[in-house]
Each structure stands twice: as C-alpha cells, then as structure tokens.
Amino acid sequence: MIEPEIAKDLFSNRTGLYVKQKIYGPFDHGLVRQGILLTEGSDWQRHRKVVSPAFNLDKLKVMAKRMGACTQSMVDGWKDQVVQANGQSKEIEMKREFQALAADIIASTAFSASSSVGKEIFEAQKELFQRTAMIDFVIPGGQYLPTRWNLDTWKLERKLRNRLKSIIEERLNSKDRNGSDSGYGEDLLGIMLGISESSKKQEDLKLSMDEIMDECKTFFFAGHETTANLLTWTMYLLSLYKEWQERLREAVMKECGMEIPVFFCLMNIEFDKGIACEVNMFLLEALRLYCPAIELYRTTTKDTKLGDLMIPKNTTVVIPMVMIHRNKKYWGKDADELNPLRLADGVSRAASHPNAFLAFSTGPRACIGQNFTMLEAKTVVAMILQRFSLSLSLSHEFKHAPMNELTLQPQFGLPILLSMAH
Ligand code: HEM
C-alpha cells in the first residue's frame, strides 16, 4: 500500500527519477501527446510557463462571468422543465447535464466558442478516446496500415485537428480586435497565444502550432470529465445529506441572495485559500470520497529505493489516491462517511498526514486547473441551490455503482428529482 509520505516523495521529485507512464492507446492517437499533461523535462517547463498565467486569479475573474452565464442557461432550462411539471418535482439525469455544462464552460473559457463548437470538439475527442481505449492488443506496425478502423480514426483525428487549427488561425489573424492586453483575447487560448507569440526571441516561452493545439485538447481532456464528475458526485451527496443541502443553501442565500454568485465564489479563492467556506469544504469532501482520478502512475528511470522497497528501473508505480483518501489510519474511523467539517481548516490539516488529500496531486505536476475547477463547481452548486431542492430519484431503482472509466463515474447515471427551493 502506498502511504501519503511515499506519494509525496514520488510527486515532489524534480530530478527526473519518476516520469509519467508511457501509455499506448488513447494518447498515441494524437489526443494530448505534446501538451503539458504528458511532456517531461525542459519541454514540460516551457509548457507550464506558458500555460500557468492563464490560470492566475485576475484571469479567472474574467472566466468566472462566463461560467456564471453558461450555468444560468442550464438552470433556466431546468426551471422551465419544473414549471411544465405543474409544480411536481422533475427528474433530471445529472451526469449527462454536467457533461454538457462542463463542455460548454471549457469551450467558452478556453476558446470563447459557442456551446455547439464545444460539443463538436468534445464529441470528436471522446470518440477518439473511446476508439483507442478499445485497443487491447497491438500488432507491431499495425497502426500504419490502411485498415477500416485506422482510416476512420485518422479521419476523426483530422476533423479535430482542423477544427482546432481554424479556431487558432482565426484568433492569430484577428489580433488587436479582441480588446485584451495581449490582443489575442482573454480566454485560455488568447492568454497562451499572447505569451507564446510575444516571446519570439525567448525560446523557453515559445509553443509551436501543434503544441498549442495539443494544449487546447488538454484543457478538454483534463478539465472536462473530472469537473463533470465532481459536480455529479456532489449532487449525489447533497441529495442524500439533506441537512447539508439546507446548510449550504442558507450560506449561499445569506451571502449572495439570488445574485449570480461569482464574487462570493472568487472571494473564497482569494482570501480563504485553505480555510474553506461551507461550499468549498463540501466540494473537497466530495473529491475525497469520490476522487475523479482514482490513481496515478509514475515510471522509474533508474533503480531506486521507495520506502522499504527496491524498485528497478522502468517499473511503473501506481499511486491509488482513492484508497489513500479512505484510509482510516489517516482519516479516522469515519473515513468512509461524509464529514465536510474535517476540511474546515483546509486540506493539509484535514487528516493526520498533510498529503493524505491528493485529488489534485501535489508537487510541481499538481493540477494547474484546480482553482478554475473549484471556482466553476462553487458557482454551479451555488446557482443550483439558490433555485432547487434535490432528492435522489428512486423511479429507476437507482443503483449506487461508482465505476472507473478513466475517471470515477456513476455507472448508471444519477437521476435527481428537482423541485423549486422557495
Ligand atoms: C475536479 C476536477 C479536476 C481534478 C480532480 C483534476 C486532477 C488532476 C490531477 C490528479 C492531475 C495530476 C496528473 C498527473 O500527475 O498525472 C492533474 C493535472 C492537470 N490538470 Fe487537472 N483536475 C481537474 C480539473 C482540471 C481542469 C478544469 C483543468 C483545465 C482547464 C485541468 C488541467 C490540468 C492540467 C493541464 C494538468 C497537468 C499539469 C502538469 O502536468 O503540469 N484540470 N489534474
């Protein structure tokens, strides 16, 4: 069993002793190969320098408004459905709704694109992933043969690539018409282009067209399912723990009434970092119990000692975050139960080891989008609680069945009954 101390050593090491696992399959089909998620060494440093500023607090402030607008359109749709149900509660399939919302938000904050463009990119990426994830045996060189399967996959890759290329080229051509400091726009793409394009002489800040395209795909790949799952599991827990649902609704109404809660959500990032507010600590507890990325992998580049074990070169070590998150040794007897108050003083003080919470990993390769995702999740949860009461729908004999399909998902979806909160 990997302990938090060993996980910390693995994730914090900066000497290149542990690298990300080389994965055959999804990533080899042009998904995020040259993006920040999978690069190593100086390449990764260059990507991280270009991408990091896009997640600064002042940039998030602009994005927060877009998150609010996308969520408003989702909750307006829900409200119409509840009204049409003549005051009866209305069943909504949450997993599907949050997948659409997360795609909409990434499309809007990353490319200022409409939800239909976001959906198009997301669907192409998802299908590409599903096709390549199906590969369970490999014939050497088989990926170059013009089989039906390869031809279809290449066609899909081309479609995704061309769509992203046209978005990037359009942006490069419209420089100075975007009204932002850099001239390329205030979304993730504009900020990245601003840094990369303005540093033509500074090679350590330059990204090629292919790298920028892979970075765009990375935002979808790393930020879409993870956030959708966080929201889905949060709704599951809120519908089970009604006292917490009431408590959070009260906190939201007290702070911001029916306003779009952008300022409230930002305040907690800015001033509260570790000391969690009500919604924040509930979300963190949801991440602890239903950690979207259930495990991570690192491969050794040399023979090394890890804890008491000698690990040979080229060995892949699994870090099972989901098990660390429920280990009673660190989280106490109630490790399997919901108790958001344990996170009242922030993640590093929640358990008996400061690194027992690893939903976003830790060290230099920790999630770059964690403030983005927490801001998004707080905005969405607050806007839902302002309007609706939630309870679990039993009409389909709902089965609680968490399943790992790249991220931790409810296998049979999450049907929730919505009624107006006031
Ligand atoms: C609940 C939501 C999220 C969770 C649980 C999550 C979790 C993680 C984890 C565990 C890692 C480390 C991966 C590894 O070391 O192999 C990671 C990395 C990363 N995440 Fe997230 N993530 C979330 C949302 C997002 C969002 C919204 C974005 C972007 C819009 C994002 C972008 C990234 C990127 C670019 C990396 C790679 C960082 C690097 O290697 O330097 N993530 N994330």
pLDDT on residue 142: 75
> pLDDT class for 93, splitting at 50, 70, 90?
very high
Q: Which range among 193-207, 272-286, 380-394 has the greatest average pLDDT?
A: 380-394
Alpha helix stretches (DSSP H) within 257-369: 262-270, 278-289, 321-324, 328-331
Nearest protein CA to atom 17 of ligand 1, as residue: 367
Number of other residues whose CB lies within 10 A of the CB of residue 14: 9
Residue nearest ligand 1's atom 32 by CA? 369
User: What atom of ligand 1 comes closest to residue 372's alpha carbon?
Assistant: 27
Atom of ligand 1 nearest to the CA of 230: 1
Taking the centre of ligand 1 as the mean of its atom positions, its distance from the CA of residue 11, in whole angstroms, is 13
CA-to-CA distance for 101 and 228, rounded, in angstroms?
Answer: 8
CA–CA distance, 416 with 306 (Å, rounded to integer): 45
What average pLDDT does range 316-336 have in this prediction?
A: 96
Query: How far is Cα 365 from Cα 360, in angstroms, rounded to an integer?
Result: 9
- Ligand 1 atom showing the smallest separation from residue 358 Cα: 10
In 3D, which of 370, 375, 54, 368 has the Cα closest to residue 190?
54
Nearest Cα neighbor of 292 from 342, 363, 221 is 221
CA-angle at 239, arms to 238 and 244, nearest 5°: 40
With the most atoms of ligand 1 within 8 angstroms of its CB, the residue from 191, 367, 408 to mutate is 367
- Give mean pLDDT, residues 387-405: 87
**Can you tell me the mean pLDDT for 287-316?**
94
The pLDDT value given to residue 362? 95
388 CA to centre of ligand 1 in angstroms = 30
With contact defined as beta carbons under 8 Å apart, do 71 and 380 qualify?
A: yes
Q: Considering only CA atoms, which residue is closest to atom 31 of ligand 1?
A: 369
Domains along the chain with CATH numbers:
4-420 (1.10.630.10)
Question: How large is the average pLDDT for residues 222-245?
Answer: 95
Please give the average per-residue pLDDT across 136-156, as a whole number: 80
pLDDT at residue 273, as a whole number: 47
Structure tokens at 419: 């009624």
Ligand 1: residues whose CB is within 6 Å?
A: 20, 36-37, 48, 218-219, 222-223, 226-227, 230, 292-293, 296, 359-361, 365, 367-369, 372-373
- pLDDT tens digits along 254-272: 888 888 887 777 766 655 5
Distance 372 CA to ligand 1 centre (A): 10
pLDDT of residue 234 exceeding 60: yes
Angle at 186 between CA 181 and CA 191, to 5 degrees: 80
Which stretch of DSSP H or E encloses residue 415? strand 415-420
pLDDT value for 27: 47
Residue 59 has pLDDT above 50, yes or no: yes
Q: From the centroid of its chain, how far is CA 276? A: 20
- Look at residue 296 in the predicted model and tell me its pLDDT: 94
Between CA 205 and CA 97, with CA 266 as vertex, the angle to 5 degrees is 90
